[in-house]
Amino acid sequence: MIIFLMILSNVMSIVGKNMMWNDSLLNLNISGNKLRRDTRAIDRASRDYGKIANIRPDAVLYPTSVNDIVNLVKLSYNSKRPFGVAARGRGHSVRGQAMVKKGVVVEMTSLNTVTRGSRIRIVNDPRLGLYTDVGGEQMWIDVLYATLQRGLSPVVWTDYLYLTVGGTLSNAGLGGQAFRHGPQISNVFELDVITGKGRLVTCSNTYRSELFYAVLGGLGQFGIITRARIRLVKAPTKVKWVKLMYSDFSAYIRDQENLITSNDDGLNYVEGSVIMDYSHPISWETSFSPIEVSRIKTLLTQHKILYCIEAIKYYGYAPTYSNISETEVDNLFQGLSYVPGFIFKKDASYFDFLNRVHVKEIALQPLGLWNIPHPWLNMFIPKSSIMNFNQRVLVDFIHKQNKSTGPIHAYATRRNKWDDRMSAVTPDGEIFYFVGLLHAVVDGDWKSRDILNKEVLGLCKKLGIEVKEYLWNQKTKDEWIRHFGPKWRIFAQRKALFDPKKILSPGQNIFN
């Protein structure tokens, strides 16, 4: 029986321009008041972490079952006037990628409010080994809690865990463990996906593989992930947390590349960052003790720009929970060219290390320094261009013009850990660099940082530096084609196959 979702009083209050409401939505076969148009729901779905875009949908779906989402997409696909559908996890996009104009935003985390914890299941399979089946709406922090209770863990984590599984897998899911295991999309065995035709499909690398590879890193263009089967391994309980300071960029990248190409007994996590003499204290000081901050500031006055390698070694595995000796730690960094004496070590629990960004979030929120505009620019830079990028972009342009307004990440990873059959795009070469200009706009002037981002991209183009942007959507059709390069043809073919009416994720601005 078709159940009308909209409460009569809500429908009667729609006047003027609000009559743009798609009448076919009134016939959606979903029980209860799950499809909402109230101001609170619309406002929430119109903004994201970036605090830049403001795109208002017609309605917001709060599903309590996967079938609610299936019915919504199917209704659009079968409608004479198809409407856009955008799956929203934690809204951690920065430029409206999870928004839709005159369509419906699906609040994926609503699935977890009814079935909290029940959509995370851990299995030891004789063929696949250990894995967890996880609802696409689940946050990685909840996956961490559930798996650690069994002494297990996924192998790759994003720096911030309060993101949904479906959200990070739609992009790639990059973290400091990726040099060893690839991004999160390289560690998925199977998916349940709602395609743009409103079909719920199970797929893997051997079963309906075209959809499987399309969705992983596919920016939400081919389907909404409702379940992911993720590889698990035995979890450590402790980490040795080491930070090394550099004043010489060539030594910094040389040591990074040596660390990430070492054998399997080496480090488990490697990332890197750039600290400038005028960098906002919040962008780096909270990562060090007061004594360390004082020493680094003195070094900064001498060199103006410093580079920091952050490296992690896991230990304390059950059942012995054995420690790691200082000699073993020192051997990992033997022969490196960091500034003498500027190596900082500490021990932490595995959980505390993974949850470190949330701790900063808790500290910054009361100060009004978290919910501010974040016009980020994230890029993949080939190894062959990273020296030129540092000198011409970071040193000669950003530093000399005093334009650093947030943390700057710059670290190496390995391309052979990525699967080219997936939609995600990387530069050529075995090693490439992730560079993130993570602007945090305290003064509210995000437009000037946006101009800076465009100037950086323009300078890279002028210098012949091949840039593959990550988590970015302000492109023309031609720019998207250049972004995907040789993958564009198959990307477009997959769109026509799995979402021919261009219903899904219009906020990415690829086909819409």
Given the residues 48, 58, 68, 92, the one annotated as active site: 92
Given the residues 159, 277, 361, 419, the one annotated as active site: 159
End-to-end CA distance of the chain: 34
Give the closest residue to 377 by CA, choosing from 416, 339, 405: 405
Is position 107 annotated as part of the catalytic site? no
Domain that holds residue 144: 113-234
DSSP string spanning 328-388?
HHHHHTTT--SPTT-EEEEEEEHHHHHTHHHHHHHHHGGGT-SSS----EEEEEEHHHHHH
Question: Which tokens is 442 given?
Answer: 């305290």
**pLDDT number for residue 252:** 98
Q: Looking at the domain assignment, is residue 107 inside a domain?
A: no
CA distance 216 to 169: 6
Q: Are residues 226 and 246 in the same domain?
A: no
CA distance 415 to 230: 20
Per-position b or e across 67-79, b if 16+ CB within 10 A of its CB: ebbbbbbbbbbeb
CA distance 241 to 253: 19
Helix and strand numbers, DSSP H then E, in the chain: 17, 19
DSSP H or E run through 258: helix 249-260
Q: Are residues 390 and 283 in the same domain?
A: yes
Q: Are residues 455 and 349 in the same domain?
A: yes
Give the closest residue to 75 by CA, choosing from 192, 201, 198: 198
Which residue type sits at 370?
W
Angle made by CA atoms 483, 488, 491, in degrees to the nearest 5: 120
**pLDDT number for residue 330:** 93
DSSP reduced 3-state for 392: helix
Name residue, tokens 């079909």. 199
The phi, psi pair for 357, rounded to 5°, reads -70, -35
In this structure, are residues 165 and 138 in contact, taking their beta carbons and an 8 Å threshold?
yes
Q: Are residues 257 and 224 in the same domain?
A: no
Per-residue CA distances from 38 to 9, 10, 97 (Å): 11, 8, 22
Domain boundary among 203, 234, 265: 234
- Dihedral angle computed from the Cα positions of residues 322, 325, 331 and 334, in that order, rounded to the nearest 10 degrees: 140
Q: Are residues 248 and 225 in the same domain?
A: no
Given the residues 255, 271, 310, 499, the one annotated as active site: 271
Q: What is the SS3 assignment for 53-79? A: CCCCCCEEECCCCHHHHHHHHHHHHHC
Q: Are residues 134 and 165 in the same domain?
A: yes
CA distance 280 to 406: 7
**pLDDT number for residue 21:** 55
In this structure, are residues 218 and 167 in contact, taking their beta carbons and an 8 Å threshold?
no
CATH number of the CATH domain containing 230? 3.30.465.10
Q: Are residues 191 and 246 in the same domain?
A: no
CA distance 341 to 54: 48
DSSP reduced 3-state for 170: coil
Q: Are residues 223 and 264 in the same domain?
A: no
Q: Looking at the domain assignment, is residue 345 inside a domain?
A: yes
Interhelix angle 477-484/488-498, rounded to 10 degrees, is: 110
Q: Looking at the domain assignment, is residue 385 inside a domain?
A: yes
Q: Per-residue confidence of the chain (512 residues) as pLDDT tens digits?
A: 333 334 333 333 333 334 345 666 766 666 567 999 999 999 999 999 999 999 999 999 999 999 999 999 999 999 999 999 999 999 999 999 999 999 999 999 999 876 665 799 999 999 999 999 999 999 999 999 999 999 999 999 999 999 999 999 999 999 999 999 999 999 999 999 999 999 999 999 999 999 999 999 999 999 999 999 999 999 999 999 999 999 999 999 999 999 999 877 789 999 999 999 988 888 898 889 999 999 999 999 999 999 999 999 999 999 999 999 999 999 999 999 999 999 999 999 999 999 999 999 998 888 888 899 999 999 999 999 999 999 999 999 999 888 777 899 999 999 999 999 999 999 999 999 999 999 988 888 899 999 999 999 999 999 999 999 998 777 888 999 999 999 999 999 999 999 999 999 999 999 97
Q: Are residues 395 and 370 in the same domain?
A: yes
CA torsion through residues 396, 397, 400, 404, sign: negative
Domain boundary among 454, 470, 486: 470
Any residues with CB less than 8 A from the CB of 272 and at least 6 apart, and which? 252, 256, 307, 308, 309, 310, 409, 410, 411, 412
Give the closest residue to 277 by CA, choosing from 260, 300, 252: 300
Q: Looking at the domain assignment, is residue 14 inside a domain?
A: no
Q: Are residues 330 and 450 in the same domain?
A: yes
CATH number of the CATH domain containing 386? 3.40.462.10
Per-residue CA distances from 498 to 170, 173, 210, 493 (Å): 15, 22, 10, 9
**pLDDT number for residue 472:** 79
CA distance 312 to 242: 6
Domain boundary among 188, 210, 234: 234
Q: What domain count does the chain have? A: 2
Angle made by CA atoms 42, 44, 50, in degrees to the nearest 5: 130
Question: Which tokens is 367 given?
Answer: 């100060």
Is position 92 annotated as part of the catalytic site? yes
Q: Looking at the domain assignment, is residue 96 inside a domain?
A: no
Q: Looking at the domain assignment, is residue 422 inside a domain?
A: yes
**pLDDT number for residue 117:** 58
**pLDDT number for residue 32:** 65
Give the closest residue to 451 by CA, choosing from 459, 442, 462, 443: 459
Per-residue CA distances from 142 to 48, 67, 117, 161, 349 (Å): 21, 23, 8, 9, 17
Q: Are residues 330 and 400 in the same domain?
A: yes
Q: Looking at the domain assignment, is residue 245 inside a domain?
A: yes
Upstream peptide bond of 319 is cis (omega within 30 degrees of 0): yes
Report which DSSP code applies to 161: -
Q: Looking at the domain assignment, is residue 496 inside a domain?
A: no
Is position 483 annotated as part of the catalytic site? no
Q: Are residues 177 and 120 in the same domain?
A: yes
